[in-house]
Amino acid sequence: MSVPVMTVPGEAPPTTAAVRAAGLRKTYGKGETAVHALGGRVGDDAAGVDVGFDRGRFTAIMGPSGSGKSTLMHCLAGLDTASAGQVWLGDTELTSLRDDQLTKLRRERIGFVFQAFNLLPVLTAAENLTLPMQLAGRRPDQAWMDDVVARLGLRDRLGHRPYELSGGQQQRVAVARALLPRPDVVFADEPTGNLDSRAGAEVLGLLRSSVRETGQTVVMVTHDPVAAAYADRVVLLADGHLAGEVHHPTADAVIDALRGLGG
């Protein structure tokens, strides 16, 4: 017998993992200079990293410098290959794909927001926004584009080039660019690292509302407990291993959890 799924208006629907990893390990280099960035050494007793990121939720990844946050994100996003273990994006196992298949998957199903905005300086905001979809041979849905542009407060900036925009405006273009193809997951790597606190709060609020209002899945690496408090859940890493979680985080709860790691 199937059980009806009840959703309450205004609340997120029940979730399953949009992206997950099992037994994930990453080692850089070989021999004596090898760095076991994630999950320890292959063959060690300790298991690799098992972690899932719920669909329609905002998750932050935190931990001390060198704990493996970027490595985890890069492996989850198919930007780096795993040394062992598996990564799935929905039902697709990334770790079994060839490079060309991974490139296609990243283009079609993953959105990225980086600390450095990564906008092309010769293109207008509008051209930057639509470039990834054009490269993928897709046409953005006009109503959806209008909605994203309006929500991100970019309507009167679309004809501007990046150097004519503030850092906060540039990052909002980068967020809109990531949201436009309706990706399975948006990965954000220190998205507020180059912004002042007000512009940072705007960008985080936009990521938050994309999760709440459109069910977008967001996974964000950050050092900032205030930024992490915008998330539904914080996953903590230490020395390349999972080291705990904070649900419904406040900045203070995150600071306490990081202190517990010695971070």
Ligand X SMILES: Nc1ncnc2c1ncn2[C@@H]1O[C@H](COP(=O)(O)OP(=O)(O)OP(=O)(O)O)[C@@H](O)[C@H]1O
The nearer residue to ligand X, 56 or 240, going by C-beta atoms, is: 240
Taking CB under 6 A as the criterion, the residue among 39, 40, 63, 132 binding ligand X is 63
Taking CB under 6 A as the criterion, the residue among 29, 159, 205, 260 binding ligand X is 29
CB of 19 to ligand X, least distance (A): 17
Output the CA angle 50-116-198, nearest 5 degrees: 95
Backbone angles phi, psi at 169, to 5 degrees: -65, -40
Backbone angles phi, psi at 236, to 5 degrees: -100, 135
Taking CB under 6 A as the criterion, the residue among 18, 19, 21, 37 binding ligand X is 37
Helix axis angle, 142-151 relative to 125-135, nearest 10°?
A: 140
CB of 241 to ligand X, least distance (A): 12
User: How many residues of this chain bind ligand X (CB under 6 A)?
Assistant: 12
CB of 147 to ligand X, least distance (A): 33
Residue at token pair 């079609």: 108
Angstrom distance (rounded) from CA 85 to CA 39: 9
Taking CB under 6 A as the criterion, the residue among 7, 65, 91, 156 binding ligand X is 65
Taking CB under 6 A as the criterion, the residue among 17, 23, 41, 66 binding ligand X is 66
Asked if residue 67 binds ligand X (CB under 6 A), the reply is: yes
The nearer residue to ligand X, 81 or 92, going by C-beta atoms, is: 81
Asked if residue 35 binds ligand X (CB under 6 A), the reply is: yes
CB of 234 to ligand X, least distance (A): 14
- 8 A C-beta contact, residue 174 and residue 185: no
Task: Choose the stretch contacting ligand X; rule: CB under 6 A; options: 66-74, 139-147, 154-162, 209-217.
Answer: 66-74
CB of 129 to ligand X, least distance (A): 28
- 8 A C-beta contact, residue 58 and residue 218: yes
Question: Which residues within the stretch 69-88 sit at the binding site for ligand X (CB under 6 A)?
Answer: 69-71
Residue (of 110, 78, 115, 68) closest to 237 by Cα position: 68
CB of 40 to ligand X, least distance (A): 12
Per CB under 6 A, residues contacting ligand X are 28-29, 35, 37, 63, 65-71
